[in-house]
A and B are shown apart, each in its own frame.
Chain A
Amino acid sequence: MKKVYINSAVTISAQDTFESDRFLKSVKKLSGKTIVARYPNYKDYIATANLRRMAEGVKMGVTAASKALKDAKITQPDAIITGTGMGCIDDTEKFLNAIISNDEQFLTPTAFIQSTHNTVGAQIALGLQCKAYNNTYSHAALSFEWALMDAQLRLQQEEAENVLVGGYEELGKEIINYRRMMEDADGFGIQVPYSEGASFFVVSSEKTEHSVELIDMEAHSTLSTTSIQDSLKQFLAKNNVDISQIDVFVSGRNGDVFDSYYDLTAELFENITQLQYKHLSGEFYTASAFGLWTAYSMLSRQEIPEAMIFKGEIKFDNHIILIYNQFKGRDHSFILLKR
């Protein structure tokens, strides 16, 4: 079975991560209920004529994808695979509100045709004139993980050599506020702002000087607090990785009661550097793609940003990183990366 490498990683997020190369050296403290991403100058990446119909998520997705390909020096990927939890929610809300406020009359098509979940994958393909495999996953907090797993499968099965994979989310204007309202109804909810962003990667069966190896990944729809430790142990054993070999543990902590899953997992390790990222990215269904971007950057640059420390100290010689994310005790994913 072929090995799988991540050869480039790009993220547009609430932090200065797209234009700056300073890898989270100066971070913005996020507060409030929701927070928008730092939007780049899209015109550098997308023709003005094409920009006019795109909502924020599509713009972020196409832009991040374009830079990820450029960074990996790939002009035509063998597959384009995206993940998004809420899809093109902005145009969805726009069209829905037009239906409601105009009583189903005088509706125009643009918002409707831009509202399907596959719009980003489609626009990337259109821009590149890429007729290859094209797929979109929309499965809550596993949307991006499934895109990455599909890419892994294509590379392992030698169906592709270079795959463009990404996750994106846009805040929208309405449903997100209701979700926040429900979240804040009791005191145990998510403690970081809801946010948005796009993270894209080129994964490949070819190793380059910037490569980080994706050892393996796994997803579980449900896992109980009593089975989480065993599931992780089995995942590591399957990949011949001993717990002591893991240098850094990146978790998707967001301050809600389900952080207990991360605490239980962390118990398995002694003196490990525990990192978190959602206080930097905000929470959204594909925030874990931002988590993967941090892990890729840490291994390829051999740097750990101070701002990510949850427990433990900054170490300098890091080889293996484990990323674990879950959302509300559901949709668990483990990703194992190696320098």
Chain B
Amino acid sequence: MTELRQELKEKIIEQLNLEEFTVADIADDDALFGDGLGLDSIDALELIVMMDKDYGIQLTDPKEGKEIFKSIAVLADYITKHRSK
């Protein structure tokens, strides 16, 4: 689990071009959207593709992302439960 969380942080920083962040800056429970990391709806779409491509999880409604992308911890839990890759 720790490994997956670490991997997700790295991916998010790279994929979303978050130059000013390092893995150490993101706590497992930090909010990814809004006040936390400051991600927005376009980032949510980027993450949806990442879920599909890297973990075989298909989300069809962007709204589903709201809960799943709450924090690294929540996201890692969801992926562990649903991954097919």
Contact A108 B49, CB 8 Å, known A49-B38, A113-B42:
yes
Q: Which residues of A contact B19 (CB under 8 A)?
A: 48, 51-52
Query: Cα distance A52–B46 when bound, in Å?
Result: 14
Q: Mark B38-64, 1 if CB is under 8 A from A, else 0.
A: 100010011001001100000000000
Partner of B18, one of A52, A109, A113: A52
B49 touches A107 (CB 8 A): yes
Measured CA separation A278–B64 after assembly (Å): 53
Asked if B84 lies at the interface with its beta carbon under 8 angstroms from chain A, I say no
Chain B residues positioned under 8 Å from A52 (CB to CB): 16-19
A106-B38 in contact given A48-B19, A48-B20 (Cβ < 8 Å): no
A109 adjacent to B52 (CB under 8 Å): no
Give bound CA distance, A327 to B20, whole Å.
42
Q: Which residues on the B side are within 8 Å of A220 (C-beta)?
A: none
Nearest residue, chain A, Cβ from B48: A108
Q: Is A328 positioned at the interface, with any CB of B under 8 Å from its CB?
A: no
A41 at the interface (CB under 8 A from B): no
Interchain Cβ contacts within 8 Å, total number? 25
Q: B45 contacts A108, CB within 8 Å?
A: yes
From A49, A51, A106, give the contact of B49 (CB < 8 A): A106
The dominant DSSP class at the A interface is loop
Which of A49, A106, A107, A110 is B42 in contact with, Cβ under 8 Å? A110
User: Which chain A residues lie closer than 8 Å to B15 at the CB level?
Assistant: 108
Q: Are A109 and B45 in contact (CB under 8 A)?
A: yes
Chain B nearest CB from A194 CB (Å) reads: 27
**B62 vs chain A, min Cβ distance (A):** 11
Residues of B within 8 A of A51 (CB): 19
Q: Does A301 contact B (CB under 8 A)?
A: no
Please name all residues of chain A whose beta carbon is closer than 8 Å to the beta carbon of B53 when the two chains form the complex: 106
CA–CA, A287 to B38, complex, Å? 37
Q: Would you call A53 an interface residue if the criterion is a C-beta within 8 Å of the partner chain's C-beta atoms?
A: yes
Within 8 A of B (CB), among A48-64: 48-49, 51-53
Residue of A nearest to B50 (CB): A108
When C-beta atoms are compared, the residue in chain A nearest to B53 turns out to be A106
Judging by beta carbons under 8 Å apart, are B46 and A109 in contact? yes
CB distance from B25 to the nearest CB of A (A): 13
Q: How far is the CA of A108 from the CA of B44 in the complex (A)?
A: 10
User: With a CB–CB cut-off of 8 A, which chain A residues contact B42?
Assistant: 53, 109-110, 113
Chain A 37-55 interface residues, beta-carbon cutoff 8 Å to B: 48-49, 51-53
The residues of A that contact B38 with a CB separation of less than 8 Å are 49
Which residues from chain B contact A107 at a C-beta distance below 8 Å?
A: 49
Contact B18 A110 (CB under 8 A): no
Contacting residues, chain B, for A108 (C-beta < 8 A): 15, 45-46, 49
Q: Which chain B residue lies CB-closest to A113?
A: B42
Q: Digit string of A74-116 for contact with B (CB within 8 Å is 1, else 0)?
A: 0000000000000000000000000000000011111001000
- Seen from chain A, the residues whose Cβ lies within 8 Å of a Cβ on chain B are 48-49, 51-53, 106-110, 113
Q: A51-B19, A110-B42, A110-B46 are in contact. List 15 more A-B contacts (CB 8 A).
A: A48-B19, A49-B20, A49-B38, A52-B17, A52-B19, A53-B17, A106-B49, A106-B53, A107-B49, A108-B45, A108-B46, A108-B49, A109-B42, A109-B46, A113-B42
Closest 10 CB pairs of A and B: A52-B17, A106-B53, A108-B46, A108-B49, A109-B45, A48-B20, A106-B49, A49-B38, A109-B42, A110-B42
